[in-house]
Chains A and B, each alone.
Chain A
Amino acid sequence: MSDIAKFFGYTPLNTIMHRLDPRVKFLWYFAAILPAVAWSDPLFLLGILCMIFICGALAKAENRVMLKIILLPFPGYIMILLYNIFAFDFTVRQMIPWELLYLGWLIPKFNSFGPYGHISLEGLIFTLGVCLRLAIFVSASRLFLKFTSPSDITTALSKLKVPVEFTTTISIAFGYLPELARQVTSILDAQKSRGWRVDSKNPVRIVRAYIPVIIPIVSRSMTRSEFLAAAIVSRGFGTGSRRISLKEASFSLQDYVAFALLMIFLVTSIITGTWVLNIAHFRFTTSIIRQLCNLPAI
Chain B
Amino acid sequence: MEEYAIIMENVDWTYEGGTEKAIRNINLKIKKGEIVVITGPSGAGKSTLCYCISGLIPHFFRGELRGEVIVSGYNVRQTPLKVLSKEVGICFDNPSNQLFCATVLEEVAFGPENICVSRDEVIERVRDAIKLCRLEEYKDKSPHALSGGLKQSTAIAAIMAMRPNIFVLDEPTSNLDPEGTELIFHRIHELMSAQKRTTIIVEHKLEYVLPFADRLIIMSDGEIVANGSVRKVLAESELLQKLEISVPHVTKLAYGICKHLSEDNVPITLEEGMKLLRGVTVRKTMPGLKELKCHSLAGKERKIIIKCENVWYEYPDGTLALKGVNLEINEGELIGVIGQNGSGKTTLAKLLNGLYKPTKGTVIVDGIDTRTVDVGYLARVVGYCFQNPDDQIFAKTVREELEFGPRNLKLPPEEIEQRVKKYAKKLEIHNYLDVSPFTLSQGLRQRVAVASVLTMEPKILIIDEPTTGQDYARSKAIMDLAKELNKEGKTVIIISHDMNLIAEYCDRVVVMWNGKILIEGTTREVFSKPQVLAQSSLKPPQITQLAQILGLPPDILTVDEMIDLLDIKG
Contacts and interface: CB of A to CB of B under 8 A. Distances in A.
Interface of A: 1, 3, 5-6, 9-14, 149-151, 171-172, 174-176, 178-179, 182-183, 186-187, 189-197, 211-216, 219-220, 223-224, 227-246, 248
Interface string B314-356: 0111010000000000000000000000000000001001010
Interface string B90-110: 101010111011110110011
A13 B350 CA distance: 32
Interface in B384-433: 384, 386, 388, 390-395, 404-405, 408-409
Contacts of B4: none
A192 B355 contact: yes
A176 B86 CA distance: 26
Contacts of A14: 140
Nearest to B83: A239
Contacts of A5: 144
Contact of B109 (A214, A231, A246): A246
B453 interface: yes
Nearest to B92: A227
Contacts of A248: 119
Nearest to A175: B100
A171 B144 contact: no
B394 A212 contact: yes
Contacts of A1: 315-317, 319
Contacts of B109: 246
Given A178-B144, A189-B350, A235-B159, A150 B113 contact: no
A149 B379 contact: no
A216 B56 contact: no
12 contacts: A1-B317, A12-B140, A174-B102, A194-B392, A194-B408, A215-B394, A220-B390, A230-B60, A233-B81, A234-B88, A236-B111, A239-B80
A235 to B, nearest CB: 4
Contacts of B103: 12, 149, 151
B211 interface: no
Contacts of A197: 374, 376, 408
B85 interface: yes
Given A195-B375, A236-B114, 12 more contacts: A3-B316, A11-B142, A12-B140, A175-B102, A182-B144, A219-B438, A227-B94, A227-B97, A231-B100, A231-B155, A235-B110, A246-B122
A87 B112 CA distance: 58
A12 B105 CA distance: 11
A177 to B, nearest CB: 10
B117 interface: yes
A195 B409 contact: yes
A239 B110 contact: no
Nearest to A3: B316
Nearest to B408: A195
B89 interface: yes
Most buried by B among A11, A228, A246: A246
Interface string B156-173: 001100100000000000
Given A10-B142, A192-B355, A193-B353, A244 B394 contact: no
B534 interface: no
B114 A231 contact: no
Interface string B58-89: 01100000000000000000001110011011
Given A191-B392, A216-B394, A243 B438 contact: no
Contacts of B395: 212
A3 B317 contact: yes
B562 interface: no
Interface of B: 51, 54-56, 59-60, 80-82, 85-86, 88-90, 92, 94, 96-98, 100-103, 105-106, 109-119, 122-123, 126, 140-142, 144, 155, 158-159, 162, 315-317, 319, 350, 353, 355, 374-376, 379-380, 382-384, 386, 388, 390-395, 404-405, 408-409, 438, 452-453, 456
Contacts of A234: 54-56, 81, 85, 88-90
Contact of A231 (B82, B92, B118, B380): B92
B376 A192 contact: yes
Contacts of A230: 51, 56, 60, 90, 92
Most buried by B among A5, A211, A216: A216
Contacts of A235: 85, 110-111, 114, 158-159, 162
Given A171-B101, A212-B404, A219-B438, A195 B379 contact: yes
Contacts of A223: 97, 390
A193 B123 contact: no
B95 to A, nearest CB: 10
Contacts of B56: 230, 233-234
A109 to B, nearest CB: 44
B60 A233 contact: yes
B376 A229 contact: no
Nearest to B123: A246
B163 to A, nearest CB: 11
A14 B139 CA distance: 12
A241 B392 contact: no
Given A179-B144, A234-B89, A190 B392 contact: yes
A39 B101 CA distance: 37
Given A195-B405, A231-B97, A235-B158, A149 B115 contact: no
B115 A241 contact: yes
Contact of A228 (B89, B98, B392): B98
A152 to B, nearest CB: 8
Most buried by B among A12, A214, A240, A245: A12
B94 A195 contact: no
Contact of B453 (A151, A183, A194, A239): A194
Contacts of A194: 379, 392, 404-405, 408, 452-453, 456
A193 B383 CA distance: 7
A191 B355 CA distance: 11
Given A9-B142, A12-B140, A195 B390 contact: no
A197 B106 CA distance: 40
A241 B114 contact: yes
Given A172-B100, A195-B456, A236-B82, A211 B60 contact: no
A286 B144 CA distance: 49
Contacts of A6: 317
Contacts of A242: 116
Contacts of A233: 56, 59-60, 81, 85
Nearest to A64: B318
Contacts of B404: 194, 196, 212
B110 A186 contact: no
Contacts of A239: 80-82, 85, 114-116
A12 B113 CA distance: 20
